Structure 1
């Protein structure tokens, strides 16, 4: 009875514990992915441009450079990457520490100077039905398009001085907001990145990305233990429960000691004799199939008819054999 109740109760307890643990653990999402409360799942990792690894040549249609966006009526063009640092580093970015140059994800150039508009971030956010990504901690804010009523040379010198020495009383920094939209056009082959605009202080920049990767998808199933592994775990647990429960029962109820504490000790003890007998029977059967070393011995018969071999007819001649045959015939007739 104990061997039936213990495994069942232990398996039920393990199942309840695993369910409670799974429910308590927060769900961890991969970078550049997000899942909505209504089951919607977005994965924008295909939009990230990554440098080739170990000198491996990129594919024929694989993009290897950053996303370059025209400003149109805005005086600058932009360079950005999605959920990854820019492939072309923003070296000597204004107001950015040297150790953070390689972490800039969006920037623009003006008068041979680079202005960061956001550091790397891969935290996607769902605001209603809008999917957005935000970069922050860019270069210090200032109006790069501001002009004073002076000569062009004086104006350029003043802007250069402002670029090199940002205002210390200004703690605000440039940032970027990227909004993603689903592209349902079957003929579209490449995502489209568009500059939307900037705020009056030139601190916040907005972009829109139209791509098939921004459409709602199904969340990939996490790879877990296969059926074979599950059954193996259940089998190991059942065996442990069988032996531990049996030892507990034999020791405390049957008051057994030594090897007799094992459950069904008589069966395990007899199994050794059974294996031994089976081995002996198998080896003896195989020994019969081996060729015998015994052969036929030749008998040398002397001139007087006596044999000199070790056969059955030692010391007997033809007359004795005939006499034996006649005796057998007479007995048969009687």
Structure 2
């Protein structure tokens, strides 16, 4: 019986854990494949100003900033979302994408995007990485595009050439293959100091096309995924109690039917006890209903009105009876 209880409980908990693991994660969260820890970067995401003009608590100072030092430019970055600042001079990027820029730098009054919004952090081994792609054009891409001819002159037709070789057209995919855009890679490290604040620092830039940053934050330390444990202590206790009651009734009925050869309601385990409890509640119900019946209004019947005449008649009858008794006594004496 005990083994059946434990196996049923383990099966229910395993099914619940499987259903919870299949549920998709919300944006800007990830679970480590090595440590199974849950990471949520939403607390360090800067939010834009609210509709009433007041800035929210997480966005009082705008986006995160990193000094470029020898790069001669400072960087503005946000985690898992676009930067809070309004951009107006972004180079080599469609204006419709300016609202999705998550990292950029400014130089000589112009802005260069180094990555568009990405809300899916990933793991490279044990390293928590956030990658932004699709920024402004890299300098090498712009130089190659400038050197490539826009049109090609057809060569002269020579006898014996096929009709398909009369003209040599430029390839349409040449520009797409040589175009490279700025990207950003952010490596997030855990800072377990209770008083620590989130910070980001610039590491390096490869040929003005790939930018590497290092961020430190308590949010990068990870924790337990709360959604995977939907059953609290009370829920687990309720499941155990439900399984225990089920095993008690099912096992008791099987025992009473097969061993004690009982039928009907007597198959229930401890039938006499349950019958006594049922009789007790039945008696209590009868007592309560009878007590409440006293407060019910009684039916109105006919009442005698001529009370005075009845009393007079009764008095006369009594006098006649007394006279008759006296007469009988006198006759008996004689």
SS of 1:114 mapped into structure 2: strand
Matched, 1:308 2:312: yes
2:220 and 2:103 map into 1 onto residues whose CA distance is 23
Question: Does 2:97 align with 1:95?
Answer: no
CA distance in 1, matches of 2:80, 2:71: 25
Deviation at 1:38, TM superposition (A): 2.7
Between 1:105-114 and 1:27-36, the stretch displaced more is 27-36
Gaps of 5+ in 1: 147-157, 159-166, 241-274, 328-334
Question: Secondary structure at the residue paired with 2:97?
Answer: helix
Partner of 2:203: 196
Given the superposition, is the C-alpha separation of residues 113 and 37 from structure 1 closer, same or farther in structure 2, using an over 3 Å criterion?
Answer: same
Residue 311 of structure 2: SS of its match in structure 1? coil
Partners in 2 of 1:133 and 1:17 — Cα distance?
A: 37
39, 42, 45: which one aligns with 2:42: 45
- Alignment-derived partner of residue 224 in structure 1: 230
Whether contact under 8 Å (2:49, 2:56) holds in the other structure is no
1:300, CA displacement in angstroms? 3.8
Could you say what secondary structure the match of 2:322 adopts? helix
Deviations 1:80-118 (CA, angstroms, capped at 9, x unpaired): 101111112445633333332221100122343322111
In 2, distance between residues paired with 1:220 and 1:124? 16
- Of 184, 191, 200, 2:193 maps to 184
* TM-score between both structures, scaled by the size of structure 2: 0.57
- The verdict on how the C-alpha distance between 1:176 and 1:92 changes in structure 2, with shifts beyond 3 A counting, is same
User: How many Å separate the matches in 2 of 1:34 and 1:279?
Assistant: 58
Secondary structure, counterpart of 2:43 in structure 1: helix
Q: Which residue of 2 aligns with 1:74?
A: 71
Instruction: Report deviation, 1:121.
Output: 3.6
**1:209: Cα distance to partner?**
1.7
- Structure 1 residue 123 corresponds to structure 2 residue 121: yes
Whether the 8 Å contact between 2:46 and 2:58 is mirrored in structure 1 is no
Change (3 A) 1:225 1:175: same
Is 1:174 matched up with 2:182?
A: yes
Which SS does the other structure have where 2:211 is aligned?
strand
Q: Within 5 A, what are the aligned runs for 1:95-174?
A: 95-119=92-116, 120-128=118-126, 130-142=127-139, 170-174=178-182
Task: Give a deviation string over 1:1-24, Cα, whole Å, max 9, x none.
Answer: xxxx9xx9x999976765665566
2 CA distance for matches of 1:185 and 1:239? 47
Contact 2:8/2:243, CA 8 A, preserved across alignment:
no
Q: Equivalent residue of 2:115, what SS?
A: coil
Following the alignment from structure 2 to structure 1, what is the Cα–Cα distance between the partners of residues 129 and 101? Answer: 18
Deviation at 1:79, TM superposition (A): 1.3
Residues 65 and 77, structure 2, Cα contact 8 Å, conserved in 1: yes
- The 3 A distance-change label for structure 1 pair 168 and 289 is closer
TM-score, normalised relative to structure 1:
0.57
Aligned partners of 1:180 and 1:214 also within 8 Å:
no
Paired positions, count: 289
Provide structure 2 residue ranges, at least 5 long, that are not aligned to the other structure.
Answer: 147-174, 247-280, 330-334
Q: In the TM superposition, what whole-angstrom CA distance separates every residue of 1:175-209 from its partner, at most 9, and x where no partner exists?
A: 111122326384x4x3222212201x211011122
Q: 2:214 aligns with which of 208, 225, 250?
A: 208
Q: Does the CA-based 8 Å contact 1:36-1:126 persist in structure 2?
A: no
**What is the CA–CA distance in structure 1 between the aligned matches of 2:129 and 2:94, rounded to whole Å?**
27
RMSD: 5.6
Stretch deviating more after TM superposition (286-295 or 96-105):
286-295
Cα deviation code 1:222-244 (max 9, x no counterpart): 2525677788899999999xxxx
